[in-house]
Structure 1
Amino acid sequence: MALPSVASAQRAPAAVIVVVDTDRVYRECTACRTAQTSLQGQVTALQTRQQTLANGLRPEGTAIQNAITALAGKAPDAALRARVDAFQKRQETANQELGRAQQNLQSVQANVLRQINERLNPAINQVMTARGANLAVDTDATLARSQGLDVTADVLAALNRTLPSVSLTPLPQAQQQTTPGR
């Protein structure tokens, strides 16, 4: 007699599911849009700087290559070797500058995602509670669903209330070493 009551006590509650399009949330939330615009500006500035550095190095590189070619296999003199060394140092400095800028940009992107994610889960939980749901699923994880299950607009509204903006600064050093990219 005790067996049937134990089995029914262990049953999971019926699933009440809501669906959230997190890709849409990341694209459309107010803080996300602002951050995306700023980050795109930083990407453009980095690309412009890369082009400027390349354009500054190209003529010297071409001139050095022509001088080496003109030697027809002979060893370069000390002046040409010095030009080559100076050019390689300029290239290395430019590459280091671009590498630091790229790393900084990636750190800013990771920090933006961290800030959004910190507020996204509570927003989803808030909407789940309001809808009486006990499970939230991303639209990418569904094969088919009823449109009535989609609570993305509610999650967006909740996120916009709790996250009007994000900081566009790099991650603190300790987090940069432990935070993988999205």
Structure 2
Amino acid sequence: MKKIILGMALAAVSASIPTVASAQRLGGAVVAVVDTDRIYRECTACRAAQTQLQTQVTSLQQRAQQLGQPLQTEAQQIQTAINALNGKQPDAALTSRAQSLQQRQNTANQEIQRLEQNIRSTQAHVAQQIGARLNPIINQVMTQRGANLAVDVGATLAHSGALNVTNEVLAALNQQLPSVSVTPLPQQPAQQQPQGR
């Protein structure tokens, strides 16, 4: 009797195994391919932002040259005066002039670093704004096309052109995001420190 019950239990368990295994199978992947590099190059907001960012970079380069040329000229003059001493110690006036030059170089470097940081922050802010709109658009287009996976074209070895939804994504992004703010990232308010008693 035990053998019959045990046999029936094993039969019931083995009959349920294929059902469990098939329930765990995933459906086939339907893939959509998106060329995000092209989108970041060609979208309307991207182009406008890139033009403004290039203007900021050009302005930075001009400012660096404006600050650097007089400092370089003075540094050469100081070096020439030091070389003329033939190993003797510079007098107080030359030493003071060299120290003043060093301070002005430090101030100029700080200004250039501040401007560079501002540009990097602006680039990050532009990318953040575009990314915030781009990802939902990719999901929307992917769903409309019946895909359950979106892959960047750079991550594929080969793909059919029919899988590429870049044009649809680009059109939707241009419609939904005609421009972006080309300003540095908003600063987070400083956390207020609790006052001790």
Aligned to 2:176: 162
For 1:63, give the aligned amino acid. Answer: Q
Tell me how far apart the structure 2 counterparts of residues 93 and 117 of structure 1 sit (CA, whole Å): 36
Q: For 1:75, which of 61, 81, 89 is the aligned residue?
A: 89
Tell me how far apart the structure 2 counterparts of residues 69 and 173 of structure 1 sit (CA, whole Å): 49
Unaligned runs of 5+ in 2: 1-14, 190-197
Displacement, 1:5? Answer: 1.4
Tell me how far apart the structure 1 counterparts of residues 108 and 96 of structure 2 sit (CA, whole Å): 18
Aligned to 1:179: none
Displacement, 1:174? Answer: 3.7
Q: For 1:92, which of 84, 97, 106 is the aligned residue?
A: 106
Displacement, 1:55? Answer: 1.0
Q: Show CA shifts across 1:120-172 (max 9, x none).
A: 11010010111011011111111111111100000101111221111111112
For 1:31, give the aligned amino acid. Answer: A
- In the TM superposition, what are the counterparts of 1:48-67 in structure 2 within 5 Å? 48-67=62-81
2:139 is the counterpart of 1:125: yes
SS at match of 1:42: helix
SS at match of 1:53: helix
Q: For 1:37, which of 31, 37, 51 is the aligned residue?
A: 51
SS at match of 1:144: coil
Structure 2-normalised TM-score?
0.86
- Fraction of identical pairs, as percent: 63
Displacement, 1:51? Answer: 1.1
> How many residues are matched?
175
Aligned to 2:41: 27
Q: Show CA shifts across 1:21-66 (max 9, x none).
A: 0100110111111111111111111111111111121221111111
Displacement, 1:17? Answer: 0.7
Aligned to 2:193: none
Tell me how far apart the structure 2 counterparts of residues 59 and 28 of structure 1 sit (CA, whole Å): 43
Aligned to 1:114: 128
What do you get for the CA RMSD once the two structures are aligned?
1.2
Structure 1-normalised TM-score?
0.93
Unaligned runs of 5+ in 1: 176-182
4+ runs deviating over 4 angstroms: none
Q: For 1:11, which of 6, 22, 25 is the aligned residue?
A: 25
